[in-house]
Amino acid sequence: MSILRNSTLLRHLAFTLLAGVALYLLTWELEPFRNFQLATVAAYLCATAGLTVLVGLNGQLSLGHGALMAVGAYTVALSQNALSEAGIVGNQVLPLSLALGVLVTMAAGAVIGLAAARLRGPYLAGVTLAVAIAVPAATVTFDEVFNSEQGLGVYVEPPPLSLGLYFPNERWQAWIALAGALLTMLLLANLVRSRVGRNLRAVRDDEVAARLAGIHLARTQVLAFVVSAACAGLGGGLMALLAQSVSPGAFSLTLSLFLLMAVVIGGLGSLSGAVWGAVLLVALPDLTHDSTGWVSLSPAVAQRLEGNLPLAVFGLTLIVVMIAAPGGVQGLLRRIGARFRRRAAAR
C-alpha cells in the first residue's frame, strides 16, 4: 500500500509541475485581460474543486458556498488592510492573509458541518441556503466593519520590482491565483485517493454499510465540509485580490447557484469536472454578454437581461447536459475516450 501511495503522490506531483510550467508559459503569451480571466478561472477552481469533494464525493448538498467564499474574501480584505495600516507591507504578507482567510473559513465550515451532520436532503439544503443569505446580510448590518453595500477596498502590493518596472499586474495576479489553484488540486487529488477519500465515498454510497464498516459518519461529514470550506475560502480570498475590492453583491445567492450548477455541468464527483466548471463560470457569462451585443435591444430590456440572462443560460446548459451527458462534460469526454480505445483495440 505504501508503494502505491508513494507512486500516486509522485504522479500527482509530476502532473502538477507540468501543468504549472505550461500555465506559466501561457501567461507570457496572453494579453492582460486574458490573464485576468485565467486568474479568475483559477480562483473559481478552488471553490468548485472543494464543492466537488462535498457534493460529488460525500453526497452533501450545499447552496451556501458563495457565502463561504465571502468569508474568505472579507478576511483577506480586513487582514491586508490592517497589515498595511500597521506598516507591514510587501508581497510576503500575502500568503499570511490568504492562510488566515482559509483558517477562518474552515472554522465557519466546521460550524455548518456540525449542523449538516444531523440533517439530510432538503433540511441540509435549507441550512446552507440560510447561510448564503445570512452572510451578505451580516456585512450590511455591521457596516462599521464591512462598510455595508459599498464593501471594502483591498490593499494589494504591486508586482515585485525584480520582475521589472512595467511588469503587467494581471500576469502577476495570474501567477498567484494559479499557484493557489494548483496547490488545491494537488492536495485534493491526494485526499481523494487516500483512506479519507474512500470514507467519503462510502458514506455517500451507503451510510448504513459505512457505519457497519467502522466509519464515523458525523466526523466524516464534518471533515468534508471543513475541506470544502477551506477551498472556498481560498477561492474567495483570491477573488478579493483580483478585484482589489469585496462587497456583498459579489457573493450573492446567485453565485452559490452558479457554483453548484458548474460542478454538475463539469462532472459531479470528478476533480477534472471541477476544472470544466470553473472555465464555464468565466466563459458562459462572457459569451452571454457578447451575444446580447449582436442583437439590437432597448436599454430597459438590456438592463433586465444583464443580471438574469447568465443564470438562464446556465440553467439551459444544465438541462442540455443532463439530457445529453448525465455525467457532465468530463463524463462525456471519458465515454468518448473509451469508445476510441475500444475501436483501437478491435483493429
| Percent of the chain clearing pLDDT 70 (strictly above) | 90
Q: Please provide the average confidence, as pLDDT, over all residues in the chain.
A: 86
Which residues on neighbouring strands pair with residue 153, listed in sequence order? Answer: 245
- Helix residue spans in the chain (DSSP H): 2-29, 32-51, 65-85, 94-116, 121-141, 143-146, 169-192, 195-205, 207-212, 217-243, 253-267, 271-293, 299-324, 328-346
Taking the whole predicted model, whether its pTM rises above 0.75 is answered as yes
Q: How far is CA 252 from CA 95, 112, 133, 186, in A?
A: 26, 18, 7, 29
How high is the pLDDT of residue 346? 78
Segment 148-162 mean pLDDT: 87
258 or 301: which leads in pLDDT: 258
Roughly how many angstroms between the first and final C-alpha of the chain, as a whole number? 36
3-state secondary structure of 153: strand
- Taking each helix axis from N to C terminus, what angle separates 299-324 and 253-267, rounded to the nearest 10 degrees? 30
pLDDT per residue as tens digits for the range 110-126: 998 888 777 777 778 78
- Name residue, grid cell 458548474: 262
